[in-house]
Amino acid sequence: MNKKAQQFMNYMQTNFNEGEFALKELQDARHTTLFYAYIKVGEDLSLKCLVLMDDTQNILLRVNLKEWAVCLPLDMDNLLSTINQLNCNYPLFKFYYDVATRTIALEMIYVAQDDRFEPKILQNYLAWIIRYIPDMLQRLN
Amino acid sequence: MNKKAELFQLFIHDNNLQKAFHVSEHYQDTRNFVLFTSSVEIEARRLKLAVILEEGLPTLIRVWIGSPECCESQDTKKLLRLINELNLNYKSFKFFLDEKKGVLMDWINATSDELFDPNLIHFMLGIINREAKTVYAVVFQGHVLSH
C-alpha cells in the first residue's frame, strides 16, 4: 500500500464511521489504492464516490453525480451549458460529462507529497461536496 | 499579506524570479488575497496567468487561455463541447467559459499554511507553461486534442 493510503487509513479509524469506505489495492507499480464509498442523498439516492491514491503526488476524488445519463444530441448543448455553470459557481471542483460512460462527474485533484499529505483536507472536501450536492443535482435536473 | 503569499514571495526572491511576477495585494470584504501575475508566451501573444494565494486552504493558478474578444468568433456550443473534452482529458486542470465568455484554465489545490510548498507552485508553473500552449492550439488553431 502507498504511504498516503496508509495515512488515510489511520486517519479514518478515528474520524470516519467504520466501514464507510471499501478498499481495493491494485497490484501495480504505483501501488494504487482505491477507496469506495456511497454518499447518501435523501431516502432513495446514493452517489458513488471514489478516492484514488498512488505513489505519485496526485490524489483523485470523484463523485458520480449521474450515471447512465442519456443525452440526446439536442439536450447535450443544454447539459454542457449547465455543467459550465457548475464549473463557474463551484471553483474548487471540476464537472464534466463522460460520453463513453454517460456519467456526469464531479472531480478534484489534491496534490500532496507523502510528507505533506493532510487527510483532514480530504475530509473537508467530502464535507463540502455533501453539503452542496443537493444544489448541484437540482441544477442538473 | 497572508502566510502563503509571504512564503511564495520569499521563494521568488530567493530564486531571483522577481522580474517574472507583478505582485498585488487585495481585500474583498474580509478576504485577503495576493495576486502574482505573469504570462505565458505563445508566438506573438501573451496569455495572462495569475497565482492567487489567500487565507484558507485553496490555492489557485489561473490562465486566461482566450479573452472574450478571441472567443467572439467561436461557436459557443462547439466551444463548450471542446471544454468538456479538455476537462475529461486533463485530470489536473479545470476549464470553463466565464461569464464574459473567456476560456479559463485553472489548477486548484488545497494546503494548510504550515504545509504550503512554493516549490510545488513553481513546478506546476512549468507544466502550465507547456500545457497552456497545447490547449491554446486546440481551442484556437484547430489542433486535435491528443492528450
CB B92 within 8 A of CB B58: no
Mean pLDDT of all residues in chain A?
Answer: 92
CA distance B91 to chain A (A): 7
To which residue does cell 497490484 refer?
A27
Nearest to B117 among A60, A80, A116 (CB): A116
Determine the Cα–Cα distance for residues B25 and B16; give it in Å rounded to an integer. Answer: 20
* Digit-coded pLDDT (tens) for A69-126: 665 555 889 999 999 999 999 999 999 999 888 899 999 999 999 999 999 999 999 9
Q: Hey, which bits of chain A come out as E strands? A: 22-25, 33-41, 45-53, 58-66, 94-98, 103-111
CA-derived radius of gyration, chain B = 16
Tell me the pairing of strands B94-97 and A58-66: unpaired
Per-residue pLDDT at A97: 95
Per-residue pLDDT at B67: 77
By mean pLDDT, which of A69-73, A96-100, A129-133, B19-23 is the weakest?
A69-73
User: Quick check: pTM over 0.90?
Assistant: yes
The answer to whether B115 contacts A109, with C-beta atoms less than 8 Å apart, is no
Tell me the pairing of strands B22-28 and B31-42: antiparallel
Per-residue pLDDT at B100: 87
Kindly tell me if the per-residue pLDDT of B73 is higher than 90: no
B106 membership: H or E segment, kind and range: strand B103-110
Which of residues 10 through 49 in chain A touch B, CB cutoff 8 A?
none
Is the ipTM, as predicted for this complex, more than 0.90? yes
pLDDT range class, residue B144, cuts 50, 70, 90: confident
Tell me the three cell numbers of residue B77: 456550443
* A chain contacts of residue B117, beta-carbon cutoff 8 Å: 113, 116
Tell me the three cell numbers of residue A20: 464507510
Nearest to B92 among A109, A116, A118 (CB): A109
Per-residue pLDDT at A73: 58
CA distance B127 to chain A (A): 14
